A and B are shown apart, each in its own frame.
Chain A
Amino acid sequence: MTHPKDPPPGMVEKRGASLWISHIIMIAGVLVVFFPIWLAFVASTVTQAEIVQPPMPLWPGDQFINNYREALFSGFNVPVATMLLNSLIMAMGIAIGKIIISLLSAFAIVYFKFPGKMIFFWLIFLTLMLPVEVRIVPTYEVIANFGMLNSYGGLILPLIASATATFLFRQFYMTVPDELAEAARVDGASPMRFFWDILFPMSRTNIAALFVILFIYGWNQYLWPLLITTDPSMNTIVMGIKQMFPSGDDLANWPVILATSILAMVPPIIVVISMQKLFVRGLVDSEK
Chain B
Amino acid sequence: MRSPVCLLGASEMEKRVTFKGWLLPLCLIAPQVLVSAVFFFYPAGQAIWQSLFIPDPFGLSMQFVGLGNFEYLLSDPYYRTSFLTTAIFSTLVTLASMIPALFLAVVADRLIKGAGVYRTMLIWPYAVAPAVAGVLWLFMFNTRVGVVSWYLGNLGYDWNHVLNGGEAMGLVVVASAWGRISYNFLFFFAALQAIPKSVIEAAAIDGARFWKRFWTIVLPLLSPTTFFLLVVNIVYAFFETFGVIHTITSGGPQQSTTILVYKVFSDGFVGQDLGSSAAQSVILLIVVGALTIFQFKFVERRVHY
Contact = CB atoms under 8 A, between A and B. Distances in A.
B136 A261 contact: yes
Given A105-B29, A171-B7, A36 B285 contact: no
- In this complex, the member of A1, A51, A54, A118 whose beta carbon has the largest number of chain B beta carbons within 10 angstroms is A54
Contacts of A139: 39, 43
A14 B21 CA distance: 62
B262 to A, nearest CB: 10
A242 B268 contact: no
A6 B288 CA distance: 42
A79 B113 CA distance: 45
B35 A33 contact: no
Contacts of A142: 38-39, 42-43, 46
A205 interface: no
Contacts of B181: 33
Interface stretch (B65-73, B88-96, B122-130): B122-130
Contacts, number: 342
A25 B281 CA distance: 43
B4 A272 contact: no
Interface in B1-48: 1-2, 4, 7-8, 12-19, 21-22, 24-26, 28-29, 31-33, 35-44, 46-47
A200 interface: no
B150 A161 contact: no
Given A137-B47, A241-B131, A265-B128, A56 B145 contact: yes
- In this complex, the member of A11, A113, A130, A138 whose beta carbon has the largest number of chain B beta carbons within 10 angstroms is A138
B172 interface: no
B135 A136 contact: no
Interface in B117-149: 118, 120-133, 135-137, 139-140, 144-147
Interface residues of B, number: 109
Contacts of B47: 134-135, 137-138
A182 B18 CA distance: 8
A198 interface: no
Interface of B: 1-2, 4, 7-8, 12-19, 21-22, 24-26, 28-29, 31-33, 35-44, 46-47, 50, 100, 104, 107-108, 110-112, 114, 118, 120-133, 135-137, 139-140, 144-147, 150-151, 178, 181-183, 186-187, 190, 193-194, 196-198, 200-201, 204-205, 228, 232, 235, 239-240, 242-243, 246-247, 261, 264-265, 268-269, 274, 277-278, 281, 284-285, 288-289, 292
